[in-house]
């Protein structure tokens, strides 16, 4: 029940009890008045009867003393008492006004008659005594007739006195009982009112208000200090305290929700900061390994509950290779074809979990984690895959939007890097052979010249023998095939520390950092033998045998790095003049009849 209702009921009950107590006091006062009136009637009637009785006795005594002693003062007293005795009629009338009953009035009237009879005997005795008949007067007042009349009068007075005493006593008893009853009722009402008041004070103020409010005060103070861990008691009350408790519970729930939202906001902001930092660093990456390093560094910071791997295409775009991983992923394979991933097939993120809510990617190894594959695309081309996994599916679903945002920017970064590498490759490589071009050769020679003190270097100038014959007999497509054939064999025989360049036309250059003349001569001879032994065909046409002539120079053995290319070219001219399909070093030019000055120049 609501406190306001209880308070109103208590107020009404208190008012009613107070009114009843007041009414009881009024009735008690009225009963006390009746009791007092009854006492007054009792006393007045008693006094009236006593006066009548005493008056009758005094008159009889006076007349007897007079007839015995003849004293005139006794006679005067007799007449005075007789005057009072004659007040019986007035006494009867007065008794009626005092509330005497009809029976009592009848006895009083009889007393008046009896008093008159006695008065006649006494008057006759006075007359006899005055007439000299003293003995007769004495016989009259002391005789049986006088005694009988006097006794009858006294008996009547005693009877009416007893009746009045009994009646007024009963009325007095009833009035007193009624007064006591109403007094008890009034006091009971007051006591009940006090009990109700005290009960309201204890039950409402202490138990229903004070105790809960004291308990709620501590909770409110803790909530005011943002301590939302405090537990709000569950109460089944439907009053104001219950509503206040429910409101406090709602306030706590709202506070917890605000804390949760604030924590989510802080977490989102932290994730956004990490993502922003990662995006800035991705834009500055110059190689795919740097991109993988940035991703593996920031992903576990932004999403500590997720493990994952970054996959990129191999050079032939036949399969995806892992470039980096974080938080020890369990289900990521070493490599897999692109068609084994549903995300790469559909071009959209694909979620797989152990509950089989969707088809599982074939490339996933056996595991109990939920996985999310996000394709990395840019300009309509797939450049890689972002693979995420977690023991909780909810973590993946919550982070999915951010992961897709990361994948979009990561795809753009990889695509930009690949485009940059492609443009760089176009600038430094020959489009026909795929080898480094003349510009790259000049840069490499300049770099070697700056670091020539670090060790020996060797250069092989290579020229395809009778290349014009292939163009004239088989066409330029065949000539291009010959160039690609020789370039592939040079690339396949390239030693460690070596680089092969297309110098121009049918000429190639091979630089070996850290290689001496002996090793270079051995390599040149090997190349001549392998190329000459390898038959060549183009689109089903046999093109014959291809041979090459090679000139070899070394630095600093036979000259500085600055003239390394010129000296190798001189050796090449000598090899061609010596019959082609051979490799000559600068140091062997004199033995073949070539002047060493030309080599030195």
CA 350 from chain centre, in angstroms, equals 33
| Paired residues of 538 in beta bridges | 541
Among the listed residues 506, 513, 517, 525, the single catalytic one is 506
| Paired residues of 308 in beta bridges | 326, 388
Secondary-structure percent of the chain, ordered helix, strand, coil, rounded to 5: 65, 15, 20
Tokens of 20: 């009843």
Q: At a CB cut-off of 8 Å and minimum separation 6, what does 432 contact?
A: 480, 483, 484, 502
Q: At a CB cut-off of 8 Å and minimum separation 6, what does 49 contact?
A: 157, 160, 161, 164
Burial of residue 97 (number of CB atoms within 10 Å: 0-12, 13-18, 19+):
exposed
3-state class of 494 per DSSP? Answer: coil
User: How many other β-carbons are positioned within 10 Å of the β-carbon of residue 72?
Assistant: 9
Q: Count of residues for the chain?
A: 601
Question: Is there a catalytic annotation at residue 257?
Answer: no
The residue with tokens 């003049």 is 577
- What is the distance between the alpha carbons of residues 597 and 67, in angstroms, rounded to a whole number? 212
Q: What is the DSSP string of 537-550?
A: EETTEEEEE--EEE
Helix 438-450 and helix 393-428, axial crossing angle in degrees, nearest 10: 90
From residue 233, give the alpha-carbon distance in Å to each of 104, 247, 248, 464, 494. 81, 12, 10, 95, 82
Burial of residue 1 (number of CB atoms within 10 Å: 0-12, 13-18, 19+):
exposed
**Residue 87: its H or E element:** none
User: How many other β-carbons are positioned within 10 Å of the β-carbon of residue 255?
Assistant: 15
φ/ψ of 333, rounded to 5, equals -80, 170
Q: What is the DSSP string of 437-493?
A: -HHHHHHHHHHHHHTGGGS-EEEEEEEETTHHHHHHHH-HHHHHHHHHHHHHHHHHT
Q: Are 402 and 469 in contact (CB under 8 A)?
A: no
CA 292 from chain centre, in angstroms, equals 39
- What is the distance between the alpha carbons of residues 221 and 248, in angstroms, rounded to a whole number? 11
Cis-peptide, bond into residue 556, ω within 30° of zero: yes
Radius of gyration of the chain (CA): 71
- What is the distance between the alpha carbons of residues 56 and 26, in angstroms, rounded to a whole number? 44
Q: What is the DSSP string of 208-263?
A: IIIHHHHHHHHHHHHHHTT-TTSPPPP----SHHHHHHHHHHHHHHHHHHHHHHHH
- What is the distance between the alpha carbons of residues 40 and 383, in angstroms, rounded to a whole number? 126
Active site positions, annotated: 506
């Amino acid at each position: 029940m609501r406190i306001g209702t209880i308070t109103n009921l208590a107020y009404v009950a208190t008012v009613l009890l107070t009114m009843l107590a007041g009414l009881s006091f009024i009735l008690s006062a009225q009963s006390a008045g009746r009791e007092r009136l009854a006492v007054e009637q009792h006393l007045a009637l008693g006094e009236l009867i006593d006066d009548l009785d005493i008056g009758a006795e005094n008159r009889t005594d006076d007349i007897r003393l007079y007839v015995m002693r003849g004293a005139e003062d006794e006679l005067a007293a007799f007449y005075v008492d007789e005057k009072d005795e004659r007040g019986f009629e007035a006494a009867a009338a007065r008794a009626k006004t005092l509330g005497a009953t009809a029976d009592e009035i009848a006895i009083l009237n009889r007393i008046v008659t009896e008093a008159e009879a006695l008065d006649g005997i006494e008057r006759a005795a006075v007359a006899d005594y005055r007439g000299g008949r003293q003995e007769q007067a004495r016989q009259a007042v002391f005789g049986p007739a006088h005694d009988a009349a006097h006794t009858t009068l006294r008996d009547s007075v005693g009877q009416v006195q007893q009746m009045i005493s009994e009646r007024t006593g009963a009325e007095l008893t009833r009035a007193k009982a009624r007064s006591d009853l109403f007094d008890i009722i009034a006091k009971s009402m007051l006591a009940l009112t006090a009990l109700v008041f005290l009960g309201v004070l204890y039950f409402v103020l202490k138990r229903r208000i004070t105790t809960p409010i004291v308990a709620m005060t501590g909770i409110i103070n803790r909530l005011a200090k943002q301590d939302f861990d405090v537990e709000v008691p569950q109460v089944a009350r439907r009053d104001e305290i219950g509503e206040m408790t429910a409101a406090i519970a709602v306030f706590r729930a709202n506070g917890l929700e605000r804390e949760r939202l604030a924590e989510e906001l802080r977490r989102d902001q932290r994730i956004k900061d990490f993502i922003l930092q990662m995006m800035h660093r991705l834009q500055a990456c110059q190689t795919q390994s740097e991109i993988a390093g940035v991703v593996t560094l920031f992903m576990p910071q932004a999403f500590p509950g997720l493990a994952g791997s970054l996959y990129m295409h191999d050079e032939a775009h036949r399969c995806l290779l892992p470039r980096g991983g974080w938080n020890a992923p369990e289900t990521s394979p070493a490599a897999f074809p692109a068609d084994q991933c549903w995300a790469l097939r559909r071009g959209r993120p694909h979620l797989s979990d152990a509950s089989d809510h969707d088809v599982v990617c074939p490339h996933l190894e056996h595991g109990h984690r939920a996985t999310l594959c996000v394709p990395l695309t840019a300009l309509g081309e797939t450049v890689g895959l972002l693979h995420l996994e977690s023991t909780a599916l909810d973590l993946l679903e919550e982070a999915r939007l951010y992961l897709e945002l990361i994948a979009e920017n990561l795809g753009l970064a990889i695509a930009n890097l690949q485009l940059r590498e492609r443009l760089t490759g176009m600038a430094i490589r020959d489009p026909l052979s795929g080898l480094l071009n003349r510009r790259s050769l000049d840069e490499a020679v300049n770099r070697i010249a700056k670091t020539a003190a670090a060790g020996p270097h060797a250069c092989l100038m290579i020229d395809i023998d009778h290349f014009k014959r292939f163009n004239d007999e088989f066409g330029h497509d065949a000539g291009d095939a010959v160039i690609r054939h020789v370039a592939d064999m040079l690339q396949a025989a390239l030693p460690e520390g070596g680089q092969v360049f297309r110098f121009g036309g049918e000429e190639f250059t091979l630089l070996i950092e850290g290689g001496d003349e002996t090793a270079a001569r051995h390599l040149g001879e090997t190349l001549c033998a392998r190329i000459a032994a390898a038959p060549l065909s183009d689109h089903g046409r046999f093109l014959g045998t291809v041979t090459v002539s090679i000139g070899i120079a070394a630095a600093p053995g036979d000259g500085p790095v600055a003239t390394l290319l010129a000296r190798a070219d001189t050796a090449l001219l000598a090899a061609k003049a010596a019959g082609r399909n051979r490799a000559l070093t600068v140091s062997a030019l004199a033995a073949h009849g070539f002047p060493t000055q030309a080599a030195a120049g």
